[in-house]
C-alpha cells in the first residue's frame, strides 16, 4: 500500500512532464534550428545531485541495521512511532522522492536554458548562468529537510534515538536560507548602487 501511495505522485508527475513535452514539441520548441542559449552544466544542479548521493550513502550504511518488516517512519510529537513499513518501502520511497527532486531541478534548468528568457547582457548585475545555478539548486532546501527526516528514521530504527526534531531542523535550515538570501539581495543592491555611481 505504501508503495502505491508513493507511485501515484510519481505517475502524475511523469504524466504532466509528458503532456508538457508534447505541447512544447507541437509548438516547435525542440526544432533543430533552435540552439540552446546556455548549455546544461553540472553546477546548475550540483546541490540536488550531491544530496542524492549522500542519501544513497546513508541508506546503504543504515540498510542492514533496519528491521526487515517493522520500520517506523511516522512519529507522534513525543517521538514514539505510530506507522510502520517494510525496510525496502521506506528506503525506496526516500530514494524515489530524492530522484524526483533531482529531475525537477534538471527540468527547471533545461526549461529555462532552452526558453530564451535569459540573456547575458553587458553590465547585468546578475549573470544568466548565476540565475540558472540558483534556480537549479533551489530544491536543495526541501531535499535537505527530507534527507534529515530519512536520517531521523534510520537513526530511530537503528539506535532508538532521534538526533533532533525534524520540525526544528526545518526551521533552522529555512532561517539560514532566508538570512543567506537576504545578504545575497543586499550584495546585489550594493553592486547596482556602485554601477550607477558616476
pLDDT digit string, tens, across residues 106-129: 988 888 777 766 666 666 667 778
Instruction: Report pLDDT for 33.
Output: 45
For the chain, residues with pLDDT lower than 70 are: 1-11, 13-15, 17, 19, 21-37, 116-125, 198
Closest to 87 (Cα-Cα) out of 158, 142, 11, 147: 158
What the block records as the C-alpha cell of 187 is 550584495
Q: List the beta bridge partners of residue 81.
A: 75
Q: Which positions ≥6 away from 108 have C-beta within 8 Å?
A: 135, 136, 138, 139
Residue environment code for 81-92, b if the CB has 16+ CB neighbours within 10 A, otherwise e: beebbbbebbbb
**CA separation for the pair 46, 115 (Å, rounded):** 21
On whether the CB atoms of residues 52 and 71 are closer than 8 A, the answer is no
On whether the CB atoms of residues 82 and 76 are closer than 8 A, the answer is yes
**CA separation for the pair 153, 74 (Å, rounded):** 8
**CA separation for the pair 134, 186 (Å, rounded):** 16
Instruction: Report pLDDT for 58.
Output: 96
Q: Which positions ≥6 away from 194 have C-beta within 8 Å?
A: none
What the block records as the C-alpha cell of 71 is 520500520
Domain containing 165 equals 2-29+38-196
Instruction: Report pLDDT for 127.
Output: 77
pLDDT, averaged across the chain? 83
**CA separation for the pair 70, 86 (Å, rounded):** 6
**CA separation for the pair 182, 118 (Å, rounded):** 23
What the block records as the C-alpha cell of 22 is 508534447
Q: How many domains does the chain have?
A: 1
Amino acid at each position: 500500500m505504501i508503495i502505491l501511495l508513493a507511485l501515484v505522485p510519481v505517475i502524475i508527475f511523469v504524466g504532466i512532464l509528458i503532456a508538457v513535452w508534447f505541447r512544447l514539441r507541437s509548438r516547435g520548441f525542440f526544432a533543430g534550428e533552435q540552439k540552446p542559449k546556455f548549455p546544461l552544466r553540472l553546477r546548475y544542479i550540483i546541490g540536488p545531485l550531491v544530496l542524492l548521493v549522500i542519501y544513497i550513502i546513508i541508506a546503504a550504511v543504515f540498510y542492514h541495521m533496519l528491521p526487515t518488516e517493522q520500520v517506523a517512519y511516522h512519529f507522534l510529537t513525543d517521538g514514539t512511532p505510530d506507522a510502520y513499513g517494510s525496510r525496502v518501502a521506506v528506503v525506496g520511497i526516500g530514494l524515489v522522492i530524492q530522484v524526483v527532486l533531482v529531475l525537477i531541478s534538471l527540468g527547471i534548468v533545461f526549461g529555462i536554458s532552452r526558453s530564451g528568457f535569459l540573456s547575458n547582457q553587458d553590465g547585468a548585475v546578475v549573470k544568466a548562468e548565476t540565475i540558472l545555478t540558483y534556480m537549479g539548486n533551489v530544491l536543495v532546501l526541501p531535499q535537505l529537510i527530507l534527507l534529515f527526516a530519512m536520517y531521523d528514521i534510520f537513526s530511530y530504527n537503528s539506535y532508538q534515538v532521534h538526533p533532533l526534531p525534524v520540525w526544528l531542523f526545518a526551521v533552522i535550515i529555512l532561517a539560514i536560507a532566508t538570512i543567506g538570501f537576504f545578504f545575497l539581495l543586499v550584495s546585489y543592491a550594493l553592486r547596482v548602487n556602485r554601477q550607477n555611481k558616476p
